[in-house]
């Protein structure tokens, strides 16, 4: 489905559908863009910017709330991810980038195997425990896009972009089930070092006098 030119916001961020994203708008071109988005109550696209340029798969966002307006026109806004899209053509006629896009959703596929779902959810719950956050409520395992919720606190941009582009919930959960063990092993190691570091300057226990 093609719906004209979508304003695009390249960021070092991968936004998922349903996820919140706070933004501080300070560049003139993006003040203009968000001003039009607010005026027309429209979506804009968040796309991952890299050294090689921008990726061709992103997620639209809407402005849920203007948190603060500054005298010089800067804005603090809270946005929420909506729809995934692929860029068909980029347009740079305006100060900000726009694109002809095609929206997409998941293709019909088999539900994830129970063991894959369990591995992904268990990995998420352990990650939340390490972050001192609450685990997944039991009723949310039926969410048809649960994978995006499970991946929300994962900082790995490459994995996040892979999940955003994948059109199968079962496949996304497989990616997460394979990712969590190695990631959690590293996080546990980091946590141990942090716990030991305050005791002395060398990461071990202080010597007894």
Sketch out the chain's domains with CATH numbers: 5-104 (2.30.130.40), 114-197 (no CATH)
pTM of the model: 0.88
% of the chain surpassing 70 pLDDT:
92
Q: What number is the average pLDDT over the span 164-188?
A: 96
In the three-class reduction of DSSP (H, G, I as helix; E, B as strand; rest coil), residue 199 is classed as helix
Out of 86-95, 116-125, 159-168, 192-201, pick the least confident: 192-201
Out of 152-156, 164-168, 202-206, pick the least confident: 202-206
pLDDT of residue 199: 58
Distance, CA of 176 to CA of 163 (rounded, Å): 9
Distance, CA of 8 to CA of 57 (rounded, Å): 11
Q: What number is the average pLDDT over the span 172-183?
A: 97
Q: What number is the average pLDDT over the span 87-115?
A: 94
Q: How confident is the model at residue 59 (pLDDT cuts 50, 70, 90)?
A: very high
Q: How confident is the model at residue 200 (pLDDT cuts 50, 70, 90)?
A: low
Name the average pLDDT for the chain. Answer: 91
Backbone angles phi, psi at 180, to 5 degrees: -60, -45
Q: How many other β-carbons are positioned within 10 Å of the β-carbon of residue 75?
A: 19
Tokens of 82: 């909506």
Backbone angles phi, psi at 174, to 5 degrees: -65, -45
| Digit-coded pLDDT (tens) for 19-52 | 999 999 999 999 999 999 999 999 999 999 988 8
DSSP collapsed to 3 states, 9-37: EEECCCCCCCCEEEEEECCHHHHHHHHHH
pLDDT at 3 over 60: no
């Amino acid at each position: 489905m093609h719906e004209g030119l979508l304003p695009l916001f390249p960021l070092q961020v991968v936004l998922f559908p349903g996820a919140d994203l706070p933004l501080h708008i300070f560049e003139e071109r993006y003040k203009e863009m968000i001003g039009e988005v607010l005026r027309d109550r429209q979506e804009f696209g968040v796309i991952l910017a890299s050294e090689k340029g921008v990726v061709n798969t992103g997620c639209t966002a809407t402005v849920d709330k203007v948190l603060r307006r500054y005298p010089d026109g800067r804005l603090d806004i809270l946005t929420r991810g909506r729809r995934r899209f692929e860029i068909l053509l980029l347009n740079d006629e305006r100060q900000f980038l726009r694109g002809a896009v095609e929206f997409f959703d998941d293709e019909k596929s088999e539900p994830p195997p129970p063991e894959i779902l369990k591995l992904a959810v268990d990995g998420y719950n352990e990650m939340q425990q390490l972050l001192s956050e609450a685990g997944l409520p039991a009723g949310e395992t039926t969410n048809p896009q649960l994978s995006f919720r499970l991946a929300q606190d994962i900082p790995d941009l490459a994995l996040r972009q892979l999940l955003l582009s994948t059109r199968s919930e079962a496949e996304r959960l497989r990616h997460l089930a394979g990712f969590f063990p190695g990631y959690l092993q590293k996080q546990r190691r980091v946590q141990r070092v942090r716990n030991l570091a305050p005791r002395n300057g060398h990461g071990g226990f202080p010597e007894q006098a």
